Amino acid sequence: MRKLYLVRHGQTLFNLRGKTQGWCDSPLTELGIKQAEITRSFFTDNNIKIEELYSSTSERAIDTANIISDLEVKPRKGLKEWNFGKMEGTFKRYQDMRGK
């Protein structure tokens, strides 16, 4: 029986800075790379063989997938995060203040 594992990308620069990102892309941080390496170890340590690897088209997701497995990543536009329009790249704290 096949199983589906869903993995979120590692921490990005925008995550670290508290900025909103959907379609905007920002690179993985050192922690984000480490998180992906830990995920790879989880699969290896638990003898989980990845047969197919899909990702959104965002660089952060593809980079995470490439760290997790040596398989070719199959990017899919349908897996991309929401587009937050004018809120992309803004600070989440600012958004919270505007809503009050």
Q: How far is CA 79 from CA 15, 41, 51, in A?
A: 19, 24, 18
- Per the residue annotation, which of 9, 37, 51, 88 is the catalytic one? 9
The tokens describing 99, both together, are 């809503």
- Per the residue annotation, which of 30, 51, 72, 81 is the catalytic one? 81
Q: Tell me the longest C-alpha to C-alpha distance in the chain.
A: 50
Residue 9 is a catalytic residue:
yes
Tell me which H or E stretch contains 28. none
Give strand pairing partners of 12: 28
Residue 81 is a catalytic residue:
yes
Distance CA 8, CA 61 (A): 7
Give the active site residues: 9, 81
